[in-house]
Amino acid sequence: MHFELFFLGLWDAMEEYVRHINVNSLDSCFYNAVLAVHQGRYAAAEKYLEEARDVIDTELTAMAAESYSRAYDTMVIVQMLSEVEETMHYKMMPEKRPLICQMWWKRLQECQRTVEDWQKFLQVRSLVLSPDDMRRMWLKFASLCRKNGKMALSHGTLVLLLHYDPNKSEEFTLPLHKPDLTYAYCKHLYCEGRKDLAISQLNLLIESTCKLGLPKHSHEQMQKDLMRLKAKCFLRLGHWTEMNCPENEPPLPQVMLYYRKATEFDKDMYKAWHALACTNFNAVLYYKQKSAHQKSAATGVEAPDDSSKYSPRCSLQNENLITVYAVQAVRCFFRSVALCSGNSLQETLRLLTLWFDYGQNPEVYDALMEGIATVKIETWLQVITQLIARIDTTRHLVNRLITQLLTDIGKEHPHVSELNFSYLLLAGCF
């Protein structure tokens, strides 16, 4: 209850609450410090903060011995005390305000993704920052709430930033001039189950942001932020459209268009390149399976129907589509591997699938050649066994590329060259 009073700015009620708790408790020291900062009594605030730290010093060692979770909770309080102190610096030293805000943002990013902890930190910062000043932080918090199933808190946070509740308006409208806030509300709507409304509002946002132009003198970062938001909108619309696609059907061209648009607006967005790569990869699998089904139906293995009659023309059409999608998938997977900050094994294995199955095709081969030059040689160490196992393939172009890559790996990492050489001898390549 005390945090709610703090958050809502009910200072008189909070002051009354503090009078009724143990004066020697940590809560008493903390909330008295908060009240003192709010009232501009900085010397008193410093005194309460010191008293709070004295209480913590006597408790922290014992708590750490009991359990990590109890010690962590106390460390969160320690951090909150520091932030209360920083709010005083924010008030007293205007020249340091941008630096303090930047520090708060970075610290929040590094904090554990716990709704309760994030809420406490944001409430402390609200001593000196308005909701609009903290919009980026509150939007992150709303996202965290949504991902943890706390939809009411997510909605309340978004309403705080909107300054009105769209659900209570005569006509449901979102502030298109605040695209980041509207985008966040669209995600909330979709998670809430109001999918059609979310998609329609997101389409309106995309239409608005594509028309929206920032003044030429706008800060470069503002331009980048808007472009990245456009990319996020198209990526999200692609995901939502793809989720509504029927099973056993090829990926919709509209989905690929959305993902392609996302990569155009933000050329360094890993998620967009990964999504586009996977969609093209799934298209390859679909037409491969369709071709196999048509061939088996034509030979009488399965009873043919009107949709699966086999003809040389159908076969050529499927092969052409497979080539187009395979080339696109290869290019996009290489781009996502280059941008991946974590483990890229999933992308690399799918690249190998395309390589081994379609690398004999000159167009796919050229795409593989170009892509290999764009990623670190260490990328292939995680699939070295699969590469070696295919060294004896009779497909000339596939073999050539594998041999060249293994040679390059051996030059950079001599400790694996002996293994490669031994296998090549066994395979009769020398």
In this structure, is the dihedral angle defined by the CA atoms of residues 190, 192, 195 and 198, taken in order, positive or negative?
negative
Model pLDDT, residue 152: 95
* Crossing angle (nearest 10°) for helices 115-125 and 97-110: 170
- Residue 301 burial (CB count, 10 A): 10
Model pLDDT, residue 65: 61
CB 7 within 8 A of CB 126: yes
pTM check: above 0.75:
yes
Model pLDDT, residue 3: 62
- Block residue for tokens 């764009």: 374
How far apart are the C-alpha atoms of 336 and 18, rounded to whole Å? 54
Contacting residues for 190 by C-beta, under 8 A, at least 6 apart: 198, 199, 240
- Please tell me the chain's helix, strand, coil percentages from 3-state DSSP, rounded to the nearest 5: 75, 0, 25
Q: Which phi-psi region, left, alpha or beta, contains residue 428 (left: φ > 0; alpha: ψ -120 to 50)?
A: left
How far apart are the C-alpha atoms of 270 and 332, rounded to whole Å? 10
Contacting residues for 194 by C-beta, under 8 A, at least 6 apart: none
How far apart are the C-alpha atoms of 430 and 383, rounded to whole Å? 23
Residue 389, judged by CB atoms within 10 A of its CB (0-12, 13-18, 19+), counts as middle
How far apart are the C-alpha atoms of 54 and 24, rounded to whole Å? 10
Model pLDDT, residue 48: 94
Model pLDDT, residue 1: 45
Q: In 3-state terms, what secondary structure has residue 250?
A: coil
Q: What angle do CA 75, 76, 80 make, to 5 degrees?
A: 115
Which tokens belong to 115? 């709704």
Averages of pLDDT over runs of 10 residues in the chain (430 residues) are 64 84 85 92 94 81 64 83 95 95 94 91 93 96 96 95 91 91 98 96 91 64 89 97 86 94 97 98 93 71 49 73 97 97 94 97 97 95 91 93 92 71 54
Model pLDDT, residue 366: 97
